[in-house]
Structures are given as structure tokens and as C-alpha cells.
Amino acid sequence: MTDPAVPAWHAVALAADIEPGTSAGARLHDRELVVWRDSGGESHVWEDRCPHRGMRLSFGFVRGNHIACLYHGWAYDTAGQCRAIPAHPDLAVPETIRVPTYASAEASGLIFVWSEMGATPPSPPAARPLTALRSLFVEAAPERVAALLAGRFAPGPDGSFAGRLVGADVVLFLQPFTADQTGLHVTIDGAGDGALVSRAAEALRHAIEAAAPSRFASLEFAA
Ligand code: FES
């Protein structure tokens, strides 16, 4: 799951955090991504780089079913194809001007991306009746985070980790940012006190960042 050479679905955002008409930057395996949602409600995950001069598209503006670059306003449709260049309004935009895209899907209150650029995934991400709570940034390597979580939570086939946290059933989805940084998306399975789980998840983050593996299982962030 944390090996960049192995294509897989990864959660990159809470679905509710990307409202229609907005965009945000994300990172996966040290690649910068833009996650954006068109005004029709469909989400998209692309390389976060304008083909013109490399400006981050996550700084751009969503207009209907296009995202426009902040720098010179080149606008891209939902397939990543450039459709308008404001400085040359009469130009037939070459088909070669397009943004590399990733397959993405929404499930379990999260936005998932298939980690292999331009590829068609073999199946959609597993959908579960979860409540997406929050995302956390962890200053630790993805492999270390996965190993620590596996000592306390049950790893799932989709790279998630399920277990108990302050009396609630939770499922944690790991997002490998870089070699040293990891994202954790926290969801609740069933009933649970969101504020309490949220605080416990922060304690979990601090425990991962601070604890030696041998101490991790005995820390008091989980119940
Ligand atoms: S860098 Fe994006 S339009 Fe120029």
C-alpha cells in the first residue's frame, strides 16, 4: 500500500472538504496533485501543474466544468484538455495541451485516486457506510505509520486500518505524502462522538510521531 511502485487506491481528501467550484492541493508519493470539484459536483484529481508554465492548478479558479490557471488563465475541461487561452481567443487549442490526469472516485465519504497516472483501475475503491471525520498530517514515514498502526489496528485489504478509538469503531486511511510525511483520514464506522474521536486521533498522531514502536501498543490513545 505504501510502495509507490504498486498501483493502488489512496484517499487524498475528505469529500466534504472539496465543495463544488473549489480546488485544493494534495500530495501522493511525493507527487503534487490538484483535487477539484466542478460545479456539477464531480470531483477530479490531476497533476497539479499547468502545462503552460507550471503554475499550480490548485491556485486556479473553477468555472463550471473547467478549471482555469491563475497565471494566464488557460482553462481546462474535465478531461484535462485545454479549451481556452485568453491571450489568443481565436486560437484552435492543440489537442496536445492537456493536463495529466488520474482516475478518481468517491466512496466512504472520501475522494480516492488511483496512483498510476492515466491508468484505468481494475475495480473501484471499496465503498463502506463510514462517516468521514477529519484528515491529519503525520510527520513520519508512511511505512513507519503503517507498521505502527498494524500493531494496534486491523489492516484491511484496501490499505485501511480498523479498530477502536475512545469507544468508537474507526477506520483510518493512510495517504503516503512523501518519504517522511503521511496523511491519515479518520472515519467513524457507526456511532461515535466526533469531537472525542477527533481529539483521540490527534493524540494518535502525536503518539506515532513520538513513540518507539515497542511503546506504541501500550499508549492510552485508544479504548
Ligand atoms: S502558467 Fe498556467 S496559464 Fe500560464
CATH of the domain at 99: 2.102.10.10
50 lines ligand 1 (CB under 6 A): yes
The pTM score is 0.93
Ligand 1 pocket test, pick from 55, 66, 99 with the greatest ligand atom count within 8 Å of Cβ, gives 55
Q: Is the CB of 75 under 6 A from ligand 1?
A: no
95 and 21 in a single domain? The answer is yes
pLDDT for the residue 223: 44
Alpha-carbon dihedral sign for residues 106, 184, 179, 33:
positive
Tell me: do 40 and 110 sit in the same domain: yes
Grid cell for residue 105 = 472516485
The Å distance, Cα 187 to ligand 1 centre, comes to 37
Report yes or no on 4 lying in a domain: no
Q: Is 105 in the pocket of ligand 1 (CB under 6 A)?
A: no
Nearest CA to ligand 1 atom 3: 72
Q: What's the pLDDT score for residue 190?
A: 93
From CA 173, how far away is CA 180, in angstroms rounded? 17
Q: What is the span of the domain harbouring residue 69?
A: 9-114
pLDDT for position 221: 52
Q: Please tell me the predicted confidence (pLDDT) of residue 217.
A: 53
Together in a domain, 20 and 60: yes
Burial degree of 19 (CB within 10 A; 0-12, 13-18, 19+): exposed
Q: Is 67 in the pocket of ligand 1 (CB under 6 A)?
A: no
In a domain, 123, yes or no: no
Question: What average pLDDT values come out for the chain (223 residues) when binned by 10 residues?
Answer: 84 98 97 97 98 98 97 98 96 96 98 96 94 96 94 90 95 96 97 94 93 54 48
Domain-embedded: residue 161: yes
Ligand 1 centroid, distance to 178 Cα (angstroms) = 26
The verdict on 49 and 100 lying in the same domain is: yes
Looking at the structure, tell me whether residues 166 and 193 fall in a common domain.
yes
- Which residues contact residue 71 at a Cβ distance below 8 angstroms, ignoring those fewer than 6 apart? 50, 52, 53, 55
Residue whose CA is closest, atom 1 of ligand 1? 53
Question: In this predicted structure, what is the pLDDT of residue 78?
Answer: 97
Assigned domain for 22 exists: yes
Contacts 24+ apart (CB under 8 A), 92-101: 97/51, 97/52, 98/51, 99/46, 99/47, 99/49, 99/50, 99/51, 99/57, 100/46, 100/47, 101/44, 101/45, 101/46, 101/47
**Is residue 1 a part of any domain in this protein?**
no
CA–centroid distance, residue 24 to ligand 1 (Å): 17
Task: Please report, for residues 3, 11, 31, 96, 219, the alpha-carbon distance to residue 8 in angstroms, rounded to integers and kept in the order given.
Answer: 9, 10, 15, 27, 31
